[in-house]
Amino acid sequence: MSNIVDLIITRTIQAPREIVFQAFTQAEHLKHWWGPKGWVMDVSQMEVRPGGICHYRLQSAEGHVMWAKFVYSEISTPEKLVYISSFSDEDGRTVRAPFSPAFPLEVRNTLTLTEQDGRTAFTLHGEPVSATEEELEFFRSMHESMQMGFGGTFDQLAVYLASKR
């Protein structure tokens, strides 16, 4: 098994960096593309500032509900966004992932964006925070699944932004 624990995902979107950054930081955009395909996102709170929170609910067509949140620590518009992501309950308290107690409670995500010729390349770098060895191993074992999941989510972002042109 690889020693690499961090998850790194890169993508290029046919849209200016400012627009891509807004898609990540404004509820009216985020709700149209964030999450697994076929799930509906409702944002209950969104304050994009250091210490601010994006608390949201995802619901599947079958009625399954998951709550999660981002707690922002660094915002450099439009090139960088750093936040801790975690699953939560309806009141915003951090809880274990619904799919496994071995998934880390918190993951620090660093999103960096660069623009060239009207296209935006971005990298999402996720690293578990204060995780146990078991949690680190589980996170590492989930890399392929998370790559596919984020790939689908970022496909939705590309479609959403193309519809806005």
| pLDDT at residue 128 in the model | 98
pLDDT (mean) for 55-84: 97
Preceding omega of 78 cis (within 30 degrees of 0): yes
Query: Residue 161 half-sphere exposure, CB side, CA atoms within 13 Å?
Result: 23
| pLDDT at residue 3 in the model | 57
What percent of the chain stands above pLDDT 70? Answer: 98
pLDDT value at 78 more than 60: yes
Asked if 122 contacts 20 with a C-beta cutoff of 8 angstroms, the reply is yes
Asked if 61 contacts 86 with a C-beta cutoff of 8 angstroms, the reply is no
How far is 145 from 165, CA to CA, in rounded Å? 31
- pTM attached to this predicted model: 0.94
Taking the CA atoms of the chain, what radius of gyration do you get in angstroms? 15
The dihedral sign for the CA sequence 79, 73, 11, 158: negative
What percent of the chain stands above pLDDT 90? Answer: 95
| pLDDT at residue 1 in the model | 40
Mean pLDDT (the chain) is 96
| pLDDT at residue 67 in the model | 98
| pLDDT at residue 4 in the model | 77
pLDDT band at 165 (very low <50, low <70, confident <90, very high): confident
Topology (CATH level 3) of domain 7-163: Alpha-D-Glucose-1,6-Bisphosphate; Chain A, domain 4 (3.30.530)
- For 99-119, write each residue's pLDDT tens digit: 999 999 999 999 999 999 999
Q: Could you tell me the residue ranges of all domains in the chain? A: 7-163
| pLDDT at residue 38 in the model | 93
